[in-house]
């Protein structure tokens, strides 16, 4: 029986999604230093979701005999993060990046479990991204087509 990572295109997309989840977890950690106390609960929930998806992807890779891409020690930010607005803008990028990566997984797999995970991730990124777009002052606050640039 074929596994979800037997196809090289799917494997590449899953590896990219794992990298995006690693970066999102890191971004949540950085942003936590700058966001207001009222945003910390939502940030904690988002970080937990990213960690859970990251851990599930690591487990999927390991079960398939594929070496999971490790997290980097740090990630480049699109602009300096030095206040709540720039922290929220970083989180918008993190959510958008994970949506793009997971959409690529959806486009490259027929595996029902992986597709469920992908849909959940894209919907989560779109939903969570609204809050951070509002905090960053980004328009529109709702991504028209989540997972596209």
State how far the Cα of 113 lies from the Cα of 109, in Å rounded to an integer: 10
Q: Which of 108, 92, 101 is nearest to 35 (CA)?
A: 92
* pLDDT of 66 strictly over 90: yes
What is the overall mean pLDDT for the chain?
94
pLDDT of residue 3: 77
pLDDT at 1: 47
- On whether residue 110 sits in a domain, the answer given is yes
142 falls within a domain? no
Report whether 16 contacts 24 (CB < 8 A): no
> Residue 149: inside a domain, yes or no?
no
Confidence class for position 146, pLDDT limits 50, 70, 90: confident
Q: To 10 degrees, the CA torsion angle through 8, 76, 62, 12? A: -10
Mean pLDDT, residues 118-132: 96
CB 53 within 8 A of CB 121: yes
Q: What digits encode the pLDDT tens for the residues 22-47?
A: 999 999 999 999 999 999 999 999 99
Q: Residue 64 falls within a domain, yes or no?
A: yes
Residue 20 belongs to what domain range? 8-136
Query: Residue 3 domain-assigned?
Result: no
Question: In the numeric block, which tokens belong to residue 59?
Answer: 């487990």
Share of the chain above pLDDT 70, in %: 98
Q: What is the pLDDT of residue 48?
A: 98
User: Rounded to whole angstroms, how far apart are CA atoms 87 and 81?
Assistant: 6
Domain with residue 93: its CATH number is 1.20.1260.10
pLDDT given for residue 149 in this prediction: 64
Within-domain flag for 144: no
pLDDT surpasses 90 at 147 = no
Contact 99, 88 (CB under 8 A): no
CA–CA gap between residue 33 and residue 17 (Å, rounded): 25
Residue 148 pLDDT exceeds 80:
no
Domain count, the chain: 1
Whether 30 is covered by a domain: the verdict is yes
């Amino acid at each position: 029986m074929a596994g979800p990572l037997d196809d090289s295109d799917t494997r590449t997309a899953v590896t990219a999604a794992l990298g995006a989840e690693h970066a999102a977890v890191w971004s949540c950690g950085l942003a936590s230093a700058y966001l207001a106390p009222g945003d910390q609960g939502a940030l904690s929930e988002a970080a937990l979701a990213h960690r859970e998806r990251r851990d599930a992807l690591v487990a999927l890779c390991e079960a398939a005999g594929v070496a999971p891409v490790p997290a980097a020690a740090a990630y480049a930010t699109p602009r300096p993060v030095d206040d709540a607005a720039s922290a929220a803008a970083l989180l918008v990028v993190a959510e958008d990046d994970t949506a793009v990566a997971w959409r690529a997984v959806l486009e490259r797999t027929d595996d029902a479990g992986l597709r469920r995970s992908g849909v959940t991730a894209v919907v989560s990124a779109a939903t969570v991204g609204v809050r951070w777009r509002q905090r960053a002052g980004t328009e529109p606050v709702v991504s028209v087509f989540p997972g596209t640039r």
